[in-house]
Each structure stands twice: as C-alpha cells, then as structure tokens.
Amino acid sequence: MILSQAMAAPGAGQESRDAQREFEKILRDIFFFGEESPTGQEAAEQLSPVAAAHRILSNAFGVIPFGVFQKVDGARQPAEDELLQRLLSRRPSAYMTPFLLNKVVMSNAFWHGFGAVWNRRDSAGRLVERIALPTDCCSVYKDPEGPLYWYSYNVDGVQKVFAPRELSILFFETYNGIWGRGVLDLAREAVASDALAQRYGRKFYQNGARISGIVEVDTDASPVTKDKVKREFARYASDDAFKIAVLDHGMKYTPLGLSQSDAQFIESRTFTVEEIARFTGVPKHMLQTGKESYDSNQQQRVNYVTDTLVPFVTQWEQQNTQKLLSRQQRGLGWYVHGNVSVLLRGDDLTRSNFYERMIRNSIYNPDECRALEEKPPIPGGLGQEFLLSKNFGSLRSIVRGGGEGG
C-alpha cells in the first residue's frame, strides 16, 4: 500500500525564509512598487549566467560516451552484449540519441534536483529501451509497510508509479538519496537578486537613465497641480529623455537616488555570475567573465572536469551498473563506464604531447591512440606493440636485450 500524500522535500529553516521574504519586500517596496521577485525556472532561464551554466553542464554531460565493459585479467574490454551497447551508445529509444538522453537527464537534475531514466523491460524482463522522464511531473511516496520509496509520474493525465530499481537517477545535489536539490533550491536567493537587478536595469533605462527626484515650488500647490507637475516630469524622464525641461513659477528640481556608476550595477551582475559559478561548479571564464590567463583557464577546465563532472559521471556509472546489469553480469566483472577524456582532448599539439607521453611510458600502444583519433590500426599488428622511452624499442626487444627497434 502506498501513501496517498506525497512527501515534501526538506526546505530552508523558518528564520532563513523570513529573512528572504523581508529582503525581497524591501527591494520591491524601493524599486518595483511591491512586485514579487521571480525565482522559478522560467525567470531563471532568462538570466544569462544561469542559462549559460545550464547549457554548459547539460551539453558536457551529454557528450560523454558511456558503454558496458568487462574486467579481464586486469584489462578493460567492451562487454559482448549488443543490446546493452546499443541502448547506451547508439540508440536508447526510438526518439532519442544517447547525447539527448543524457542532456535531458542533466537538465532535469539542474533545475529540479534529479533526473531519471525509465529502463523499460518487456514481459520476459529483457531491457528494451530507456526513456527520460520529466522531473517536474514527479511526486515521491513512501510505502508505510517498508522502507521503499516510489516515484509517481503524471504526464498528460497518464500516471505511472515506479520502484527505484526501475529508474536510473542522477542527483544534482541530495541530502538523503531520495529527494534532489537543484539550482532553483540551492541558488534561489542569487537567482532572485539577479532577476531584481535585471529588472532594475530595465526600468533604469526605461526612465532615461534617471532616477526620481523632487520638484519644489514657492507656494502651496493643490493636489491637481501636483499631479500635473508629476506627469510632466515623468514624461521628460521617459518619452523625452535627454530633452530640456523648462521650469516656471519658481520651481526647482532636485534629483534623488544614485547614478548608474554609483549604484555599481555592472559589479552587482558580475557578483551574480560568481555566485552561479560557485553553485554549479562551472568556471567563471566559461560563463564569459574573468580575466585569467590562457594557462589558468586551461587548468580551470581540467578542474571543472575532475571536480564537477566526474562526480556526476561516477554517480551515473554506478546507477546504470546496478540498474541495467543483472547480478550474473556484475559477478562476471561487467560495469558501465563513462569516458571523460573526450572533454580533455584539447588542441592538436596538446593531444600529440599527451599521446607521446602515454606511448613512451607503455600506458597506451600506438593502435590505442589511433583509436582515440578514430584512425584504423597499423597494418600487420605493428601498432599493438608497447614501447618504452629507451630509443622507443619494443618491450620484447628491451627484455631480450636487443638493439633499437629490434
């Protein structure tokens, strides 16, 4: 029996929520005449640093190739299972490529905390396709008679409930392995602040880059006169920006507020980029900001792959190893592996230096490096020889004490 009420995800503390509401109220009262600050996905997608971080993460995760491998005598070899290899590396379903499937999973995780793929099996228990599910249509239920949680999806009026074993789940962040925490949860205040700053900038320019001011008159003015003067100055501040206003009857205009430079508007937007970089793990230079050197940016990219993407890849490998492979296959040493080296290939010179070092130290043989470049093996099996830095002789010749290349 399943609980009839979905369990709510953990929220922030009451004190934190009260402080956030008070902060937003102050900003609305000052700048936006009581308007609510937008914090949902639709508003966040219109903020360039958030949209860029989403695009970079989802695309990077999408291009990583995953496959099924088997450990044989310490070596990794592709597993001989045509169906599994097809679903992981060629066509997971009739309407999605592997790139698109992984991109959608990361996109759902980014916005909603987790993304899930239904590993659909036929009546005989054979895996037939993999389908990405929309997280915003999902509710989590707990079985009161056991520790099992169920994932209920309602898509276009059709409801289906899944056990966790049927789904491969990728969490953006999680505190309990059941609910996920996405950018809209973790960076809600940063998103709200940047949305308010963007709206402020729009209103700033709509008002002719001028903030409100006070008009002083020498005598008492009736409400009708005050409204008329206010309307006239509002017209000068918007429709007739940069035109000359003429004052009479001893009127004096005193501008109020801060100028664009004094408000440090640009600096506030830059700070938001830094905040999004911290929350998502995407380096600042990839969000089109920062002035680091080329070498520094290269190192940041390496750190981005190892510190940001590899945890997601490891999580996805373990999920799919457990959910796609049978107990017998896992017992034979089968596992799912993602190759993140495709993100670190760099330019031609960087790759050639990398291959040279790997061959020189007998980590790769020439044919393995050629395979990474999608080149055919060297004819005659010559590329299967492992080389060492001693005159680049083969291992066999060095062990036998032969000469160069012997």
pLDDT, mean of residues 241-269? 56
Give, as one character, the DSSP assignment of residue 352. Answer: H
Q: Assign 395 a pLDDT band (cuts: 50, 70, 90).
A: low
Q: Which DSSP symbol is given to 32?
A: I
> Rounded distance, CA 357 to CA 351, Å?
10
Say whether pLDDT at 167 is over 90.
yes
Strand pairing class (149-155; 213-216): unpaired
Q: Which two tokens stand for residue 359?
A: 């061959």
pLDDT for 363-393, tens place per residue?
888 888 888 776 888 888 888 888 776 655 6
Count of CB atoms situated within 10 Å of the CB of 172: 23
Contact, 323 vs 165, CB < 8 A?
Answer: yes
The residue among 109, 112, 129, 111 whose CA lies nearest residue 120 is 129
Q: What is the pLDDT of residues 169-206, one digit of tens each?
A: 999 999 988 888 988 888 777 776 666 666 666 665 55
Average pLDDT over residues 233-252: 59
Burial of 156 (0-12, 13-18, 19+ CB in 10 A): exposed
Mean pLDDT of 288-300: 68
Decide: 300 and 282 in contact? Cβ < 8 Å.
no
Confidence of residue 9 (pLDDT cuts 50, 70, 90): very low
Query: Residue 375 and residue 227: Cα distance in Å, rounded?
Result: 78
Distance of CA 99 to the CA centre of its chain: 15
Q: Are 332 and 176 in contact (CB under 8 A)?
A: no
Decide: 68 and 335 in contact? Cβ < 8 Å: yes
- Which two structure tokens, joined as six digits, stand for 125? 């228990």
List pLDDT tens digits, range 119-161: 999 988 889 999 999 998 899 888 887 778 899 998 888 889 9
CA distance 237 to 217: 19
Greatest alpha-carbon pair distance for the chain in Å reads 110
Calpha distance 277→291 (Å, rounded):
15
pTM for the predicted model, two decimal places: 0.68
Q: What is the pLDDT of residues 203-223, one digit of tens each?
A: 655 555 454 566 666 667 677
- What mean pLDDT value characterizes the chain? 76
For residue 48, the surrounding DSSP H or E stretch is helix 48-63
DSSP character string of 357-370: HHHHBTSS-HHHHH
Q: Map residue 333 onto helix, strand or coil.
A: coil
Distance between CA atoms of 179 and 141, rounded to whole angstroms? 11
Residue 277's SS3 state is: helix
Q: Which residue has the higher pLDDT, 320 or 373?
A: 320
- Check if the beta carbon of residue 186 is closer than 8 Å to that of residue 192: no
